[in-house]
Amino acid sequence: MTFDSQAYTAQLEEKATRLRDLLAPFDAPEPAVFDSPLANFRLRAEFRLWREAGERHYAMFSQEDKRTPILIEEFPIASLRINQLMPQLKAAWQASAALSHKLFQVEFLTTLAGDAMITLCYHRPLDEHWHAAASKLAADLNVSVIGRSKGKREVIGHDYVVEKLEVGGRTFSYRQPEGAFTQPNGTVNQKMLNWAYDALGDRSDDLLELYCGNGNFTLPLATRVRKVLATEISKTSVNAALSNLSENAVDNVSLVRLSAEELTEALNEVRPFRRLHGIDLKSYEFGSVFVDPPRAGMDPDTCELTRRFENILYISCNPQTLAANIAQLHDTHRITRCAMFDQFPWTHHMESGVLLTRR
């Protein structure tokens, strides 16, 4: 399958124009535009399995019709590794009743660094026959295999993949756990990290990071400041972030499992939190805050919290909620840099970034 580069260029410009229009009321500078590869950019994929003519096939469903499957043999937007693994896995389940019996969903997770994991989901308990077949599959395909069945999980190999990304001339290693959020477009993610690294600049004060996930931005940004206080609510992501900090010998980050709303209460001394035991909030000299919130954006109280910082570095997966948050901050902060990252080509979705500086 070939992709129309002219159609892609037109779509990219339409997204950039949409971002310009949303940020125009705030006198934003011209956005830097970071494009994506046209194909093989997506590092993860999830497929239902559909039985037809006595065989199971990879299947997806359109947003408009959740009942009619689209049977597929390859997935051109997915990574080359996923496309390589798809027929190999299909041949394996066709040859093994232990692998195929009541198998209903398959998930792939790969990295630019070449690591891969396959998750197999079943409507039945997993027994020793499955374990033997899955162990052979993992060895044959050089992947980790996860089996899931009614809240139980079997792990063959690792329950994570390892990514390596170059930011600011340094290579960072990231453990990305099965089931946790990771940026799907690794090439564009690396561009986002380098833009944020450059936008923050070298500083002698401290950084507060909200919604830190597995430490995707934390690792490179920590090398730009004196120390970091980072927060994340997901246990899986917190554990991955702690592993990533240790693996990369980044030792100036304190990570706490608090929501952005809870941290706001702690900084405003509304109430103490046991999870902050041993962390002296008054020892921090915060000059900047970094936020990468969910699609709903920052809630009003968290938005007010960010107002107290000189710099607000904001990565957004929803330009509408980004604009709404900027409207709340516009009287004290102005946009000094902005960017559009085409994390999701061939869709209307985009990631964007702004640096807001106190007036």
- The C-alpha atoms of residue 355 and residue 336 are separated, in whole angstroms, by 6
Residue of 154, 212, 262, 317 marked active site: 317
Is 261 annotated to bind ligand?
no
Is 190 annotated to bind ligand?
no
Dihedral (CA of 343, 337, 201, 303) sign: negative
What residues have CB less than 8 Å from 270, skipping those under 6 apart? none
Which amino acid, 347? T
DSSP 93: H
| DSSP H or E stretch at residue 133 | helix 128-141
Chain centre to alpha carbon of residue 219:
14
25-38 core/surface letters (b: 16 or more CB in 10 A; e: else)? ebebeebbebebbb
Is 63 annotated to bind ligand?
no
Rounded (5°) CA angle 246-79-248:
10
Active site annotation includes 121 = no
Residue of 154, 163, 178, 351 marked active site: 351
| DSSP H or E stretch at residue 340 | strand 333-341
Is 211 annotated to bind ligand?
yes
Pairing of strands 351-358, 311-316: antiparallel
Is 301 annotated to bind ligand?
no
Active site annotation includes 351 = yes
Other Cβ atoms within 10 Å of 274 Cβ, number? 5
- The C-alpha atoms of residue 51 and residue 202 are separated, in whole angstroms, by 56
**Judging by beta carbons within 10 Å of its beta carbon (0-12, 13-18, 19+), is residue 303 exposed, middle or buried?**
buried
Residue with tokens 């246990």: 235
| DSSP H or E stretch at residue 106 | strand 103-110
DSSP 25: G
- The C-alpha atoms of residue 157 and residue 135 are separated, in whole angstroms, by 9
Please state the residue numbers annotated as binding site.
183, 211, 216, 232, 292
Residues contributing to the annotated binding site for S-adenosyl-L-methionine: 183, 211, 216, 232, 292
Q: Which residues are catalytic?
A: 317, 351
